[in-house]
Amino acid sequence: MTELLHETIGSMLERQVDQFGNKEAVVYSKEKVRYTFEEFNNEVNRVAKALLGLGVTKGENVAVWATNVPEWLLLQFATAKVGAVLVTINTNYQSSELEYVLKQSESTRLFLIDGFKGTSYPEVFLQLQKSNDQLTVGKCAIVGLPYLKDVVYIGTEERSSFMKWREFLKGSVSVTDKALEMRNGELDPDDVINMQYTSGTTGFPKGVMLTHNNILNNGYQIGQCMELTHNDRLCIPVPFFHCFGCVLGTLAAFSAGATIFPIIEFEPELVLRTVEKERCTALHGVPTMFISELSLAEFESYNLSSLRTGIMAGSPCPIEVMKNVMKRMNMVEITIAYGQTEASPVITQTRTNDPLEYRVNTVGRALPGVEVKIVDPVSGLEVPSGEAGELCTRGYHVMRGYYNMPEATNQVIDEEGWLHTGDIAKMDSEGYVEITGRLKDMIIRGGENVYPREIEEFLYTHSSVQDVQVIGVPDEKYGEKVVACIQLKEKGAVNASDILLYCKGKIARYKVPAHVFFVDEYPMTASGKIQKYKLRESAVEWANLNSEISK
């Protein structure tokens, strides 16, 4: 039986301070910010005391809307130390989405930065005010947000409506070490400590409630699969608001005593510069990030010889990209992780010593302490080895549930504790899993089940294709037809006819795309997942337009 950690996130950090106190823990290379484990923990305690100074109680929901700034990281551990639930807000959200999350999560405090990608967070927040609402020096009285009490601004501009971060920190002075110790004594590893809203690739986002035990053990097991030690140096360009950043990143590294190098906002040049300068041994990223890095004109000028491992996850990992990362970026021990937020998030992962064929064709096998089974989506019965069905999982990693959504929770977690992922997968006799698609992404063309992933992997082998997404759109004759949306390595290098000719005789006729469209970019969530439903909406319009033109 797998032995699991049974401690809080705060106690894990204290334990690592005892062991690695003078060793670097957090380095923002570009910003020239460096903390040892002891320095980081001291600053976390200061923020924790400031939270107590605001009156934050155990179990309160505290929201953070920010990129990977140092304050985000401090809040992650400080909220854990006072028993507050950190509500992580998607950096791409706008006013209606922000209002929805703040209201649905019943958040009592909000921490926000200047903004992201041209969006001013303070201005977006102020749009939520009505004429009779009041907001003075961070004290909030907005009718539409009855739970929200304080808004703290992390930034350099003059914002008279908000409490500034430095003013917030002054509240720590009146709180004693003893008061923080007493709060620590009230905490339990099974307490909910983190709430992340599902990416919203379909429908309204749901608040996924995760405990210390959920994410701390998941982070630890992920680090073990990567063979992380205190000698490793992990570059984290993926967003903290998503599990990829705050679990596969910070918790996986800290549980091994490794140093982290966060990137505040993803820029491929900055990532490679940081890896080279800081001699990073590990690098995380979604496939589109690795593609961007590999596509840089000056890629070959960077010295990436220090790299060893890392994780590619967040969306299906193209085989050709994986091979390039291993060969050209020196990441010979890179691992693939698969999961979802509801599972803390990793369910399966490849190991550093898995043969190449397993690391490019599967998403690995279950983490220790995690159960996986493949079931028939209709009957619910387990299918034989090698047959496709819905992947279900059970164990320490399964969420507590969706916040204030018991019906939605019961739809995905059955009476026996199995989380139904909605993903179609196959599992071989050795437990290695291959994800073939989403139940809702599967295309049914003339009675034939078409799995987009299979066609995508085939199209990746074309020398001009940089990235590809395959979707289904309505069709009068067949019910659905296959559409390929392709990003080319070089614009205009090939046309749709060239792609269709490439498919001829190599894949079944019913899998050959009815339409091929070329795109410059895909609609994305901030966590790097492609929003296929938005792509599908555009493809329906393009297909209809194509049909009109051809008449």
- What confidence score (pLDDT) does residue 134 get? 76
Clarify whether residues 56 and 167 are in a common domain: yes
- What confidence score (pLDDT) does residue 200 get? 47
Structure tokens at 505: 């005789």
Clarify whether residues 145 and 17 are in a common domain: yes
User: In Å, what is the CA distance from 26 to each residue of 166, 246, 454, 545?
Assistant: 21, 13, 40, 52
Is residue 305 domain-resident?
no
Clarify whether residues 497 and 381 are in a common domain: no
Where residue 409 sits, what CATH number does that domain have? 2.30.38.10
- What confidence score (pLDDT) does residue 41 get? 98
User: In Å, what is the CA distance from 470 to each residue of 327, 443, 528?
Assistant: 27, 10, 17
Structural domain tally of the chain? Answer: 3
**Nearest one of 92, 529, 91, 533 to 317, comparing CA atoms:** 529
Is residue 308 domain-resident?
no
Looking at 197, 222, 250, the residue that finishes a domain is 197
Clarify whether residues 375 and 481 are in a common domain: no
Is residue 522 domain-resident?
yes
Structural domain including 513 reads 445-550
Rounded Cα distance, 391 and 414, in Å: 13
Per-residue pLDDT of the chain (551 residues; tens, 9 = 90+): 678 999 999 999 999 999 999 999 999 999 999 999 999 999 999 999 999 999 999 999 999 999 999 999 999 999 999 999 999 998 988 888 899 999 999 999 999 999 998 999 999 999 898 878 777 766 777 888 999 999 999 998 888 889 999 999 999 999 999 999 999 999 999 999 999 998 544 457 899 999 999 999 999 999 999 999 999 999 999 999 999 999 999 999 999 999 999 999 999 999 999 999 999 999 999 888 999 999 999 999 999 999 999 999 977 788 889 999 999 999 999 999 999 999 999 999 999 999 988 988 899 999 999 999 999 987 899 999 999 999 999 999 999 999 999 999 999 999 999 999 999 999 999 999 999 877 777 787 876 777 788 899 889 999 999 999 999 999 887 888 999 999 999 999 999 999 999 998 888 788 899 999 999 999 987 777 788 888 989 988 888 877 655 44
Clarify whether residues 30 and 155 are in a common domain: yes
Clarify whether residues 100 and 74 are in a common domain: yes
Is residue 252 domain-resident?
no
Count of beta carbons in the 10 Å neighbourhood of residue 295 = 11
Is residue 532 domain-resident?
yes
- What confidence score (pLDDT) does residue 447 get? 65
Is residue 208 domain-resident?
no
Looking at 413, 440, 467, the residue that finishes a domain is 440
Is residue 263 domain-resident?
no
Clarify whether residues 58 and 188 are in a common domain: yes
Clarify whether residues 428 and 457 are in a common domain: no
- What confidence score (pLDDT) does residue 3 get? 82
Clarify whether residues 180 and 142 are in a common domain: yes
- What confidence score (pLDDT) does residue 139 get? 78
Residue 488, Ramachandran bin (φ over 0: left; ψ between -120 and 50: alpha; else beta): beta
Where residue 518 sits, what CATH number does that domain have? 3.30.300.30
Clarify whether residues 51 and 185 are in a common domain: yes
Clarify whether residues 436 and 486 are in a common domain: no
- What confidence score (pLDDT) does residue 403 get? 97
pTM for the model stands at: 0.86
Looking at 389, 414, 440, the residue that finishes a domain is 440
Rounded Cα distance, 211 and 215, in Å: 6
Task: Calculate the dihedral angle through the C-alpha atoms of 471, 474, 475, 478, rounding to the nearest 10 degrees.
Answer: 70
Is residue 209 domain-resident?
no
Where residue 163 sits, what CATH number does that domain have? 3.40.50.12780
Rounded Cα distance, 347 and 371, in Å: 8
Clarify whether residues 35 and 128 are in a common domain: yes
